[in-house]
Structure 1
Amino acid sequence: MTAREEKFTRQTVLEVQPLAPGLFTLRTTRDQGFRFRSGQFARLGVGKADGSTVWRAYSMVSSPYDEFLDFFSIVVPGGEFTSELSRLQEGDTLLVDKQSFGFLTLDRFGDGRDLWLLATGTGVAPFISILQDFEVWERFERIILVYSAREGRELAYQPLIAELGQRDHLAEYAHKLQYIPVVTREEHPGALHGRITTLIANGELERTAGLALTPEHSRIMLCGNPQMIHDCRALLKQRDMQLSLTRRPGQVAVENYW
């Protein structure tokens, strides 16, 4: 075993589930010593035919209290990592770094009334984890999950999102969550049509939520397409909402591992 491999554990694939063309979920065993906070990511390693290993960062979809690890992936045509990851089957091995990473966690915000979770594509993964953690339901009065995909069939985890409020320990908090699906390339029943940035700029997102984006009350997490993150940050900056840093608390938190 090399010095690098000693930093990782070998986990067994329990389930691979296709969701739509080019999208799938992956469940693995979890090492008892692996700890993470909702919203963080792990570095995953897959072996190639030539014996080398490719590593990439993936957010945990599962909660910190689950005995397994869930991941959500897109298949990038010709992608060095996702091509190998998508070939894994039940019983195969996936390397998982012993350490968790990332700052898209609730402790980025010291206060705030409304939590906005804005995601595109597989960027919804850390937010699913956050929503399965009791802390978020206690801390915020309103939680707005905005999840954008190109086509309606690419909106993942719909049953899980729908049943969150039915869980025994969350039932009394179910009224806090509002889910707003967004589809960009087609009209889809029950979803807004257009890019998240457009919906912020023209006010439609706030009208749908019945809630204003304000520096005083809003705390916003962004995860997904780098261009979406860049453009959203610019729009929010125009409203005096800044990136939250250790030395300067703000209203916006982002994850950049693309």
Structure 2
Amino acid sequence: MIRKIRLKKILPSDNLSRVKITHLKKWGRNIVSFFTERPEKFSFKSGQFVRICPESNLTLNTNPVWRAQSIASSPDDKFLEFLVVFGKTGDFSQLSANLKPGDYFLLEKNNYGYLTLDRFSKEGDLWLIASGTGLAPFLSIIRDFSTLNKFNRVNLIHTVRNKDNLVYHNEIMQLKLAPNFFENKNKITYLPVVTREIVDVVGLIQGRKFEYISSGEHITSLLKSGKLETVTNCKFTTKESKVMICGNPQMIKETRSHLKEIGFVTSKRNTPGQIAVENYW
């Protein structure tokens, strides 16, 4: 048996914190939300990610297994929340799958990423398009209503393979993600898209419950055909629309390609635009 030793003998600790898992929520066979302590001086912007490592297997004879995880909690929350998917292979998945409350992650004190609202002017319509657990950064964004209040519409599109993968569906439908989420419900459209089943789903159109059949079409097909605009009652225009995309690289590539064909530009530090993206692997 390999003896566990003090953290500072394994890694420089100036840029690391140990955060205890306080509780977790299992969404299905391989998706879990971990809730952890938040270090006192740790700050971040909604949409950013951080690197975490399960402490459980860290010894002199092993290397730390890091994974970049978007933060799903709000910058105002006193805890951190991570939406984690476990793959069939991979060291991080194997080490994290059996973690329980009381166990620890190592947390890098630096945060990363530019999938943040300061990429845009705070006006017009905000589109948040996610696949799978790419929903995580948008959970943080829509929980920060002090900023979202400045947009006319907030359209959250979540595409998954199977209906069982619609994590946070009830919380969004009940408008309970943030204290003042309900007060701003008329701004909120939430459209779940299921791509490998033809199923009945429920969403929100400007805060009102909306039932429909998800036909198995991909988000890019809905976008190109105009169905997405029709269902949400909101147009994609370079003047009004700000589009953030996170998740599967192929989905991002196809969605961004179509948006560029109709005049949209990727927002960069010195180049204003209407698109911001984050690949999830």
Partners of 1:152 and 1:3 in 2: how far apart? Answer: 41
* Structure 2 residue matching 1:104: 3-state secondary structure: coil
Corresponding position: 1:210 with 2:233: yes
* Higher alpha-carbon deviation: 164-173 or 56-65: 164-173
Partners of 1:242 and 1:41 in 2: how far apart? Answer: 23
Partners of 1:167 and 1:206 in 2: how far apart? Answer: 27
Corresponding position: 1:21 with 2:29: yes
Aligned residue in 1 for 2:154: 143
Aligned residue in 2 for 1:35: 43
Q: Which residues in structure 2 correspond to 1:1-258 (within 5 Å)?
A: 1=8, 2=10, 4-47=12-55, 48=57, 50-164=61-175, 169-190=180-201, 192=214, 193-258=216-281
Count of aligned residue pairs for this structure pair:
258
Residue 202 of structure 1 and its aligned partner are, at CA, apart by: 1.3
Superimposed CA distance per residue, residues 169-228 of structure 1 (whole angstroms, 9 cap, x where no aligned partner): 344321000000000000121253321111111111111111111111110000000111
TM-score normalised by L of structure 1: 0.94
Partners of 1:128 and 1:174 in 2: how far apart? Answer: 15
* Structure 2 residue matching 1:164: 3-state secondary structure: coil
* Structure 2 residue matching 1:115: 3-state secondary structure: strand
Larger radius of gyration: 2
Partners of 1:167 and 1:247 in 2: how far apart? Answer: 33
Residue 111 of structure 1 and its aligned partner are, at CA, apart by: 4.5
Partners of 1:164 and 1:244 in 2: how far apart? Answer: 30
Work out whether residues 129 and 243 of structure 2, in 8 Å CA contact, stay in contact via their aligned partners in 1: yes
Work out whether residues 108 and 253 of structure 1, in 8 Å CA contact, stay in contact via their aligned partners in 2: yes
Work out whether residues 122 and 147 of structure 2, in 8 Å CA contact, stay in contact via their aligned partners in 1: no
* Structure 2 residue matching 1:53: 3-state secondary structure: coil
Work out whether residues 264 and 275 of structure 2, in 8 Å CA contact, stay in contact via their aligned partners in 1: yes
Partners of 1:23 and 1:128 in 2: how far apart? Answer: 15
* Structure 1 residue matching 2:27: 3-state secondary structure: strand
Listed as ranges, the gaps of 5+ residues in structure 1 are none
* Structure 1 residue matching 2:83: 3-state secondary structure: strand
* Structure 2 residue matching 1:6: 3-state secondary structure: coil
Residue 166 of structure 1 and its aligned partner are, at CA, apart by: 8.5
Partners of 2:36 and 2:243 in 1: how far apart? Answer: 30
CA RMSD in angstroms comes to 1.7
Partners of 1:45 and 1:170 in 2: how far apart? Answer: 32
Runs ≥4 in structure 1, deviation > 6 angstroms?
Answer: none
* Higher alpha-carbon deviation: 244-253 or 168-177: 168-177
Work out whether residues 134 and 280 of structure 2, in 8 Å CA contact, stay in contact via their aligned partners in 1: no
Partners of 2:272 and 2:133 in 1: how far apart? Answer: 27
Residue 167 of structure 1 and its aligned partner are, at CA, apart by: 5.6
Listed as ranges, the gaps of 5+ residues in structure 2 are 1-7, 202-212
TM-score normalised by L of structure 2: 0.87
Superimposed CA distance per residue, residues 23-54 of structure 1 (whole angstroms, 9 cap, x where no aligned partner): 11111111111101111111101243753310
Partners of 1:81 and 1:166 in 2: how far apart? Answer: 28
